[in-house]
Amino acid sequence: MSLLDTHLVGCPYCGESIEIEVDASAGRQVYIEDCQVCCRPFVVEVTLDLDGDATVTLRHEDE
């Protein structure tokens, strides 16, 4: 069962707000995605709390 959530986040490079869809049923995730505005790659980290709510953090690819 897929639990897609949409998160509004800011690109760590250009600062623009972008929407990312997260599949909370997949558990903790780390992957690279390109900014929809400036096209630079950033690392997306998804963690889940005890209630299953996802937290999304972004960082530069080279960190």
Q: For residue range 4-14, what is the model confidence (pLDDT) as tens digits?
A: 889 999 999 99
Host domain of residue 53 = 4-60
Q: Residue 21: name the closest of 3, 41, 40, 39 by CA.
A: 3
In the predicted model, is pLDDT for residue 2 greater than 80? no
Tell me how far apart the alpha carbons of residues 58 and 49 are, in angstroms, rounded to a whole number. Answer: 17
Model-wide pTM > 0.75:
yes
Q: How many domains does the chain have?
A: 1
Question: What is the pLDDT, as a whole number, of residue 29?
Answer: 93
Q: Are 28 and 57 in contact (CB under 8 A)?
A: no
The position carrying tokens 């992957």 is 31
* Helix intervals (H) in 1-63: none
Helix, strand, or coil (residue 42):
strand
pLDDT at 56: 92
